[in-house]
Amino acid sequence: MGLLNLFVASSMPVLKVLLVTAVGSFLALDHVNLLSEDARKHINTIVFYVLNPALIIGNLANSITYDSMVKLWFMPINVFLTFLIGSLLGWLVNLITRPPPHLRGLVIGCCAAGNLGNILIIIVPAVCKEKGSPFGNPSVCTTDGLAYASLSMAMGAIFLWVYVYNIVRISVEASSIDVNDSSDNEYTSETTAVKPDCITEPLLSPEKYNTSEDSEDSLPCTRFDETKQLGFTDKVKQNIVKISRKLNVKRLFAPSTNGAIVGFIVGLVPMLRNSMIGDEAPLRVIEDSTMMIGDAAVPVLTLIIGANLLKGLRASGVQKSMVIGIIVARYIALPIIGTLVVRTAVKFNLVHADPLYQFVLLLQFAVPPAMNMGTITQLFGKGESECSVIMLWTYVCATISLTLWCTYFMWLVA
């Protein structure tokens, strides 16, 4: 297949995403105000709790079987490697650009956490429908591609809230401690500087208050030598409680993750699958209703991405070297390393020969940062404007980067 045809097939989905994103940005302008900040919050809530889970449930339940589970075992490892390698690249970006302490976790998060769900759900079906696509039957390609993208979204959500959320939390807390320590040191130095040197007599006379130099011997003393020894099980329970609080288990089981669990159960349990999936299933109306709701996720997500990116145009004062470093890490270094990882896995027969599956694995290394990074910065109240600027420029650059990498990846797997 010619390289020009592959370029056209890969550029069309990106252009479609760009056009719909531009519509979302237009609707969020002040003089239009159809996607105001309050409207975006409500729509984001609907997408987060309803549309995304419905899309994941429908696609996984349709395509997940025991045979496909054997084929997909490498995807969680691949997602883990994207986070691991991205974290190392983010650490290098911090080392070179030296951003403020409260932004170091944000830099690592943007390099580690890619948009492993929304972008794949938008791009993969669009690539399948192009005439120059190397992935065969468009309907089969779309069904399998959405299943791969749905599993990718679920795994990305788990790693995002388990790992990246806590990286940003630690960075913000460490910077707050540093600020408090510096303010305390300044206060101590100021009080020390104004301490008078002429006072040589005690301010309170021991005779007046009937105290003596040995009065401290008569004060009661509380001893903590005999502390209660906790048993092994109690210590384990305490550690589990501490870890669960730090990991924020409630966010770990996000609606997308729960949707993936339900999709796996329906797809793998024969009784449930036979009753809901297929044209002859007695409860097929449940599947049809779920798919109808999930189909709305893709256009709504694209509009919201465009509206959210508009905030980056209004922010200022962000370190340019930091933004450039993230772009280089995500769009140059990470895809190159990811290509080596996936091709090595294919060479050792760790990944089956499905070109679409290999394409999705490769694409996981080339997507822009996860949009949920903005949500995480909002939770901690630090780095929101900087995150908006990072999202703006990384997604602008993604229009070119994704087109080139998609072309190369399709040529590689074809």
Q: Which of 59-73, 91-105, 287-301, 333-347 has the lowest mean pLDDT?
A: 59-73
Q: Residue 321: how many CA atoms within 13 Å on its side-chain side?
A: 9
Query: Would the pLDDT of 366 be above 90?
Result: yes
- Inter-helix orientation angle 355-363/138-159, to 10°: 30
In this structure, which amino acid lies at residue 279?
A: D
CB 360 within 8 A of CB 148: yes
Tokens of 284: 């097929």
- pLDDT tens column, 205-256: 444 444 444 444 444 444 444 445 566 677 666 766 665 565 556 665 678 7
* Overall average pLDDT of the 263-281 stretch: 86
Query: Would the pLDDT of 198 be above 50?
Result: no
Q: Which of 61-70, 75-84, 345-354, 392-401 has the lowest mean pLDDT?
A: 61-70
Query: Would the pLDDT of 97 be above 80?
Result: yes
pLDDT value, residue 215 = 43
Q: Residue 327: how many CA atoms within 13 Å on its side-chain side?
A: 18
Q: How many CB atoms lie within 10 A of CB 27?
A: 19
Q: Which residue has the higher pLDDT, 93 or 295?
A: 93
- pLDDT tens column, 135-151: 888 888 888 888 888 88
Q: Which residue has the higher pLDDT, 311 or 109?
A: 109
CA distance 390 to 110: 8
% pLDDT > 90, the chain: 23
pLDDT value, residue 36 = 85
* Overall average pLDDT of the 257-274 stretch: 86
pLDDT value, residue 307 = 81
CA distance readout (Å), 15 to 8, 141, 403: 10, 20, 9
How much is the pTM? 0.76
pLDDT value, residue 251 = 60
CA distance 156 to 76: 9
CA distance 92 to 94: 5
Q: Which residue has the higher pLDDT, 185 or 402?
A: 402
CA distance 327 to 333: 9
Q: Residue 92: how many CA atoms within 13 Å on its side-chain side?
A: 17
Q: What is the mean pLDDT of the chain?
A: 80
pLDDT value, residue 316 = 65
Query: Would the pLDDT of 21 be above 80?
Result: yes
pLDDT value, residue 95 = 95
pLDDT value, residue 127 = 86
* Overall average pLDDT of the 188-216 stretch: 45
First to last CA, the chain: 8
CA distance 384 to 287: 39
* Overall average pLDDT of the 145-164 stretch: 84
Which of the four pLDDT bands, split at 50, 70 and 90, describes residue 2? Answer: low
Which of the four pLDDT bands, split at 50, 70 and 90, describes residue 364? Answer: very high
